[in-house]
Structure 1
Amino acid sequence: MAELMILTTNLTKVIKKKTIVDSLDMKIEKGEIYGFLGPNGAGKTTTIKMLLGLMKPTGGTIELFGKNAADHQLESLRKMGSLVESPSYYGHLTARENLETIRKILQVQKSRIDEVLSIVRLTNDSNRPVKGFSLGMKQRLGIASAILGNPELLILDEPTNGLDPSGIHEMRDLIKRLPREYGMTVLISSHLLSEIDQMATKVGIISKGKMIFQDSISKLKSKAKEQVIIRTGNSVKAASLLLSNGQTAEQSGKSVILRDMTDSRIAQVIALLVKSGIEVYRVEEKRKSLEEIFLDLTGEGGNVHDVHSKSRSS
């Protein structure tokens, strides 16, 4: 059985009588890149602050590395690194000097500075003042600071926020390398599903403080049931004919929409329409994008209740 790095049970946070995080069950296994997704204001940063001990839960429990976090907070924090919101640094100091100030606090070997600079690919810029760094370089320095203590668990809150496409690509490649090459488990929050899709092995989607989906990216993609759209000379007659033949069909404008169709069934439908004298102009397949699924799940494009009940058993 895989080792659990994070396990929350009914994790809840109420601020000024408003429930920000609502009975959240999160499960992250060793070696995963866990994408923590949700719209802005969904409760992601509040959850992360509770995991890091920066905020006390109103209810529920947090287990880190198999132990109750409330009873073993310092022990847990020694095994963790984090980058929450924007990285902090001294602009007038170089990257190397910034890392040296943190190294003294963490009491790790001096050689570790060169190691982390290499990991985040800042070796060539290590002696430049940080105030001259691009936003992407500052974010990478933030990750270098977070992994200086060689953590087992790395928590990153919106690390690609504000980056240009080149910076996003660099950050994505770096995060993907951390579990594979350095054995770290990574929790990364984002409001962009397309970004998480290219990094995460598992995803947890939060909406209005509730976990509404938690499983692999492939399971999320399986929710994208395809539609077959058939444009005909008479869509009303076509839909009526298909319905009378036991086929669920929906008439929309000049087209008929069919769902969950096998290739052989589509062939039968087209043959039936042609045989009945209905002209078929075009047949196309459409599958929901991950972004559309995300909007549906978070309630901005549909109902989440049936998904929430299923995700509890995941």
Structure 2
Amino acid sequence: MASHILHLSNIIKAYHDTVVLDIPSLELDYGVYWLLGGNGAGKTTSMKVMAGLIPFRGDILLNGKVSCNKQPVQYRKLVNYAEAEPLYPGFITGSDLVALYVKTKGEGYTDIQKIIDLLGVSSFIHQPVSSYSSGMLKKVSLLLAFTGRSKVILLDEPLITLDTQSLPLLYALVEEFHQQYGVTFCITSHQPVTAGSIRLEVQGKNIVKI
């Protein structure tokens, strides 16, 4: 078994010849990580690179054997990502998105309906996405991140636009998937994510600053 969940090597991401991300080497073991950085620091770009959603130079290995560049389909099946400000085609419904993700990602660790009920999505999931508020969109995005049997879940600004009643429910999901199913998390946030609030042991080694 590989000692590192993710190994980023020689990562270069540039926009119009301007390098915005340069990571010679970064190894992440099993854990919960908080990615720190101000606006424009490259947090979202880092997350999208780790999710294999945008092109970059270099490579990322999952569990020491699945290459982001050489095995992109298998890699993306095992690395889930929830955007900070999700956008979906307005004509589809939340249930359409769930069906697509379940078909693509495969059987999950737990019944997806359980998570739908937990996050309070069932009341609007059959409505077109165009009718959703930003908070509803955020809940659907988070719901989709917990589909399948991923090894890594990347949550970009999961706390913004999320109502205060849903925060402990999200924390409980993170704790369950981390402790029971061995999922590694990488979370970005402008708000403090502490061991007390998230009820997880987030040690100093699990905080990456950019």
Q: Pick the TM interval, shorter chain.
A: 0.7 to 0.9
* Letter of the structure 2 residue corresponding to residue 173 of structure 1: A
Matched length: 201
SS of the residue 2:59 aligns to: strand
For residue 21 of structure 1, what is the aligned residue in structure 2? 21
What is the alpha-carbon distance in structure 2 between the residues aligned to residue 205 and residue 191 of structure 1?
A: 13
Q: Which runs of 5+ in 1 are unaligned?
A: 207-314
For residue 49 of structure 1, what is the aligned residue in structure 2? 48
Query: 1:190-229: per-residue Cα shift (whole Å, max 9, x none)?
Result: 233x1255446211010xxxxxxxxxxxxxxxxxxxxxxx
Displacement after TM superposition at 1:155 (Å):
1.1
What is the alpha-carbon distance in structure 2 between the residues aligned to residue 175 and residue 204 of structure 1?
A: 18
* Distance change in 2, residues 1:123/1:55 (3 Å): closer
Query: 1:39-74: per-residue Cα shift (whole Å, max 9, x none)?
Result: 11111111222222222224x432222133222222
Superposed counterparts of 1:88-237, under 5 Å = 88-89=87-88, 95-106=94-105, 108=107, 112-118=111-117, 120-122=118-120, 125=123, 129=127, 135-192=134-191, 194-196=192-194, 198-199=197-198, 201=202, 202-206=206-210
Return the TM-score normalized by structure 1.
0.53
Superposed counterparts of 1:56-67, under 5 Å = 56-58=55-57, 60-67=58-65
What is the alpha-carbon distance in structure 1 between the residues aligned to residue 171 and residue 11 of structure 2?
A: 29
* Distance change in 2, residues 1:66/1:167 (3 Å): same
Give the superposed CA RMSD: 3.2
What is the alpha-carbon distance in structure 2 between the residues aligned to residue 53 and residue 37 of structure 1?
A: 20
2:60 and 2:68 in contact (8 A); partners too:
yes
Q: Which runs of 5+ in 2 are unaligned?
A: none
- Flag the structure with larger Rg: 1
* Distance change in 2, residues 1:57/1:92 (3 Å): closer
Displacement after TM superposition at 1:170 (Å):
3.6
* Distance change in 2, residues 1:181/1:94 (3 Å): farther
Query: 1:68-110: per-residue Cα shift (whole Å, max 9, x none)?
Result: 322222221121211123234566766445422433444548x
1:160 and 1:171 in contact (8 A); partners too:
no
| Percent identity of paired positions between Structure 1 and Structure 2 | 24
- Which is bigger in relative contact order (C-alpha 8 A, separation at least 6)? 2
